[in-house]
Structure 1
């Protein structure tokens, strides 16, 4: 793009009312942004601990804690608990511990112990979750126990057999519901704290606040200029995503739903067999199945074959899960929501690799793609064995819908 063209498009951007609106919204006072803690894991843990503690100054008593426990108890991995029993548990004397034996948050009563590991933008350390579980088992042998893995998008942990995956999106839903129903009961300062925290979650963690929507509209209106600016901002994650995207395409695979830090794909032969839901399921294009390469934490490249959560049309998802489970070396423990029949990973310090990207770096990624190719082929072959059944099931649902 020539300089004159850049200046002309920049002038058009400045005249766009959305540009002023976005600027005003970003300048609105927010205590968490003022303190520069919106991305800090420790501060999120502190605030969530405050919300969970019925004795704290927020005035919610045990409401937030109760809503949180309802979600945890209903999960199959909390098998020692029953949702019906929750009403019988005395939550008034609950103890909330922070960083006890390196566990981020511990909810403790005379009879229950619930450990929460909070991961905002960092990854797991070696066998970290297993160590925490062993600690709780040892220290509280007679307590009924549950383990929670909290992350921005509710991703599953390395110990997904035991840890309930929980999202910041759900944390925000609880806050918004409490504000809507009980907000009039709180003082102005507490209401502002809750609203500010909700805004920070939507803007910085979930990217679905009004600010984000205006930014997207602004992007649509001035795509060429903003793409030009974006292309000239060095970002190792985005640079790697573009490279990985191209390498996946060069294998003859097709790109699926797009999210930052992930490249999702499927084979051309699988396309006609993959259902797309009408309701949101966690992926922008709502596919029922995709292969996924992730580099969210910048420490490794993960590979998963995912049957996504069936938000509707459960028959299709359940049948596809059964079909892929027929593959001899598929995983037996698939996960509660995201069914991963296959998973593997490559150690990959992303920023370090991108800083000195060379032919060897590319060959290393290509070797990993070659490693997963037999898995991709096996999944494709198994689906093709059931091609007519899957297409009939998919088309029958679409026709009914």
Structure 2
């Protein structure tokens, strides 16, 4: 197709493109004040909404919504790992009207003290940053000392992130991984049920829309984007190659050179590794040999290849990226068989060896980099990341492949 005609088909009277453009072309007060990636301001706003004593008219509904999301997340985890189990029914019946919301108490992002229920909820919020060494362990100890179990207190520790990541194995024991997407969905229900003053509802809706534009997955927009890519790939690639303000950082280099990264990992582990569908925020690779495994090409709402398990790279803050295999959406029985094969073979999977209903992240590793290292040479940071990926592939891919032998 002529590139001029391709661009015309993409941009002129294209309803999918217009729908995406319309979703982005909105006034948002949170974007106007530069809050999108400022974790502190996210914390301030959430604390305000969660506090039943504030004059927003929500009462305790926002706090109850967050607790409802936490109870569902908690239900997916082993019962013996956390004290004081809290169910969705418990949350429905609890009295949160006099809850105290504390901001930055002993440096904990958010703390809810519910005296009537003898319950303390500590929330560590991560938008783009990653946890600091020893941080979560210290916070848990402080809460347990201030509100001791032997005096009837229950504790709930929530690790709230936009990717639903587990806390670190070193000191994240007892922290429930909570996806910001789940909290946003529950807060959306508060808006839809017309709780709160009209102005407060409008502001909360703006905040949730901002989260979906910048931090969360919007299934409708993902579907539109996938359809546009399938129909207008040539035009989009032409535009991307000529983007005037491209990012020159390490993650952008990995995206632009993902074929090279696949080749280097393949040479390191001895398996054919190829690039799969990727974006500027997530880079994906596949082990081609696994395509022949039973029911492997059956993933739902994941990538166009329908591969069930992919290796993903995702930025985690300014100087770190996460490397992990991801077990995508699909038939739950099939997903369980793959996870069980890995667990039976003693391969690293999840910290709690449990499977989530949507995406389950396996063998997660953090890769730190700094573009200021090695004499301000970005190439040095990029090459270090590639070497770390080679080591990861050598360590994980062969073991996973041997484990999957039980399924062949």
Point out where structure 1 has 5 or more consecutive residues left out of the alignment.
389-401
Task: Provide the secondary structure at the position in 1 that maps to 2:257.
Answer: helix
1:37 counterpart = 2:49 = no
Out of 128-137 and 270-279, give the one that drifted further: 270-279
Count of aligned pairs between the two proteins: 378
2:63 equivalent in structure 1: 65
For residue 113 of structure 1, report the CA deviation from its aligned partner. 1.0
1:396 equivalent in structure 2: none
The CA distance in 1 between the partners of 2:106 and 2:353, in whole Å, is 27
Which of 281, 285, 301 does residue 265 from structure 1 map onto? 285
Which of 380, 383, 402 does residue 362 from structure 1 map onto? 383
Q: Give the 3 Å change call, closer, same or farther, for CA 59–228 of structure 1 in structure 2.
A: same
- Larger RCO, structures 1/2 (Cα 8 Å, 6+ apart): 2
Out of 371-380 and 80-89, give the one that drifted further: 80-89
Out of 126-135 and 110-119, give the one that drifted further: 126-135
2:54 equivalent in structure 1: 56
The CA distance in 2 between the partners of 1:256 and 1:215, in whole Å, is 16
Point out where structure 2 has 5 or more consecutive residues left out of the alignment.
267-271
Which of 366, 369, 372 does residue 393 from structure 2 map onto? 372
Contact 1:245 1:263 in 2 (8 A): no
1:200 equivalent in structure 2: 210
Query: Residues 325-359 of structure 1: CA distance to partner in whole angstroms, max 9, x if unpaired?
Result: 23346468345436566344443225768972447
Which of 301, 323, 326 does residue 303 from structure 1 map onto? 323
The CA distance in 1 between the partners of 2:261 and 2:209, in whole Å, is 37
Query: TM (normalized to structure 1)?
Result: 0.79
For residue 256 of structure 1, report the CA deviation from its aligned partner. 3.9
Contact 1:151 1:168 in 2 (8 A): yes
Q: Give the 3 Å change call, closer, same or farther, for CA 114–286 of structure 1 in structure 2.
A: farther
Query: Residues 56-111 of structure 1: CA distance to partner in whole angstroms, max 9, x if unpaired?
Result: 22222222222221232341354412314334532111111111111110011221
The CA distance in 2 between the partners of 1:12 and 1:331, in whole Å, is 44
Contact 1:108 1:114 in 2 (8 A): yes
For residue 234 of structure 1, report the CA deviation from its aligned partner. 2.7
What are the residue-to-residue correspondences of 1:1-400 with 2, within 5 Å?
16=13, 26-74=24-72, 75=74, 76=77, 78-83=82-87, 84-110=89-115, 111-142=118-149, 143-159=153-169, 161-180=173-192, 182-183=193-194, 186-206=196-216, 208=218, 224=234, 226-231=236-241, 232=243, 233-235=245-247, 236=249, 237-250=251-264, 251=266, 252-273=272-293, 275-277=296-298, 279-280=300-301, 287-308=307-328, 313-328=331-346, 330=348, 333-334=351-352, 336=354, 337=356, 342-349=363-370, 356-358=377-379, 361-362=382-383, 365-366=386-387, 368-384=389-405, 386-388=406-408
For residue 200 of structure 1, report the CA deviation from its aligned partner. 0.7
Task: Provide the secondary structure at the position in 1 that maps to 2:278.
Answer: strand
Query: TM (normalized to structure 2)?
Result: 0.77
The CA distance in 2 between the partners of 1:229 and 1:351, in whole Å, is 30
Task: Provide the secondary structure at the position in 2 that maps to 1:258.
Answer: coil
2:269 equivalent in structure 1: none
